Structure 1
Amino acid sequence: MTELAKARTVQASRIVDELREQILHGDREPGSRLGQELLAAEFGASRMPVREALRALEAEGLVKIKAHSGAWVSGLDQEEFEQCYKLREVVEPMVIGESVPLLNTVQLDRIAELADLIDATGGARGLRSFLQLDREFHLLSYAGAAYPFLTELVTRLWNTTQPYRRELVRYMPDESFHSTCAEHHLIVDAVRSRDTEAAQSLVRLHIRRTRMTLRNYGEVLWTKDDD
């Protein structure tokens, strides 16, 4: 690899990391356009590493690239929402079932700590912190699974569904927030006791309840992408 190619790869990686954080934290709204020239100017790079970064983020489920239109932050789409959450209900219980027996003490302690930290966010009052901690809580609970393909799929699904979770928390009443926190602590108890079946059932219920709650918000959420 030439020095120029190495530099371009480093630039693309930096752009991926920064854009990913911006999208996951909601600094770039779902459905907003990602113009290559503007991004190149923003990151002080040529268009080639920007294109590489956008393709990488598309593979992660955070960006959609449309022919003759360009790149866009993935929007809120009712059909996509249903598919992703139903898939999560199948895949994530499977992954936590493989993970629970293999989590170490440090991971178990951190999972319990995260559940307490999530309680302290207050839900919508600490939206950014809630989303960051909630993501770490669940992905860490899956970290023991020795199935790279499945864990990569779970990460992609979490990326794709991040804007839906943001809207859920934004509109979440206190009662729903407390229910979410209670479910987290039940998951902690199941994981600590190495109760695989309980952990699987709780995760499945947790995801399904989120899906049903978001359904109730109706069409106000859906800014369906134009094909």
Structure 2
Amino acid sequence: MTKIPSEAVSERVAAILARRILSGELAPGLRIKQDELAAELNTSRIPVRDALRILESRGLVTMRANTGARVVAPARSDIAAAFDIRERLEPLLLADSMANFGAEDVEALRAVVRAGETATTPEDMIEHGREFHWMTYSRHTSTLLATMVERVWDVGQAFVLGTWKTMDAVAAEHARQDHLREHHMLCEAIARRELETAQAALVLHVRRIRAVVLGQVEAMHRAQAARV
């Protein structure tokens, strides 16, 4: 039997944990028990520990001596900073990618926009949003810039999902319609090769999400303070 390299096992474990964190299944601040995780995934503690180090480098977990690993629980200032960084870096990444976009890329992007119309749950909308945006960046030439953008996305994604889940039905549908409309605007600006319009649509989209998420974070903090 061929033995799977430990690096491959670590990467597999890291991918599983990342999905759970970004989907909100593992909540911010939750302790990750390495023994239980190793038993669940039928592996040893070594690849689990290595996977946690990979996720620590992505900013998804923190590791402390004697206390173990926990899912990162960003402060309000960290979340605000993540959106501020997105607002500045993503237009640069978009410009880099648009310079290499072809007609087939535009049609693929439009297909993703259409597919988003069938997404109704918060989980589906978050997944669709990530797919859409990373398709707009798919022709980039700067690995460094793309890596930086992906990391700040990860900081806020669980909070975006959590915010969506706490909305009532009317507010959630309004958010869904805003989400789809802004994606359509961005897609069509890309199709017309109107870089400045596309960048403006992207910034508008990021700012709207930032306002909604930070409003929810502040409401959570007020609720917690009231219980003390």
Q: Give the TM-score category using the shorter length.
A: 0.7 to 0.9
1:151 counterpart residue number: 146
1:57 counterpart residue number: 55
Cα distance in 1 between the residues matched to 2:114 and 2:9: 37
2:86 counterpart residue number: 88
Amino acid aligned to 2:83: Y
Aligned length: 217
- Runs of 4+ in structure 1 displaced over 4 angstroms? none
Cα distance in 1 between the residues matched to 2:87 and 2:12: 33
Alignment of 1:7-86 (within 5 A): 7-86=5-84
Change (3 A) 1:168 1:105: farther
Alpha-carbon contact 1:91-1:154 (below 8 Å) kept: yes
- The reply to whether residue 167 of structure 1 matches residue 148 of structure 2 is no
Cα distance in 2 between the residues matched to 1:110 and 1:128: 22
Cα distance in 1 between the residues matched to 2:102 and 2:64: 43
Structure 1 stretch 44-53 or stretch 172-181: which is displaced more?
172-181
What SS class does the counterpart of residue 120 from structure 1 fall into? Answer: coil
Cα distance in 2 between the residues matched to 1:207 and 1:187: 12
Amino acid aligned to 2:180: C
Q: Give CA-to-partner distance per residue, 1:73-96, whole Å, 9 cap, x none.
A: 122421110110111110001111
Alpha-carbon contact 1:54-1:71 (below 8 Å) kept: yes
What SS class does the counterpart of residue 102 from structure 1 fall into? Answer: coil
- The reply to whether residue 190 of structure 1 matches residue 189 of structure 2 is yes
Structure 1 runs not aligned, ≥5 long:
none
Alpha-carbon contact 1:76-1:221 (below 8 Å) kept: no
Following TM superposition, by how much is the alpha carbon of 1:218 offset from its aligned partner in structure 2, in angstroms?
4.2
2:130 counterpart residue number: 135
Cα distance in 2 between the residues matched to 1:109 and 1:61: 34
CA RMSD of aligned residues (A): 1.9
Amino acid aligned to 2:130: R
Following TM superposition, by how much is the alpha carbon of 1:71 offset from its aligned partner in structure 2, in angstroms?
0.9
Alpha-carbon contact 2:87-2:207 (below 8 Å) kept: yes
Alpha-carbon contact 2:74-2:155 (below 8 Å) kept: no
Q: Give CA-to-partner distance per residue, 1:76-134, whole Å, 9 cap, x none.
A: 42111011011111000111111112123333222212222222223xxx122111111
Structure 1 stretch 61-70 or stretch 47-56: which is displaced more?
61-70
Structure 1 stretch 24-33 or stretch 201-210: which is displaced more?
24-33
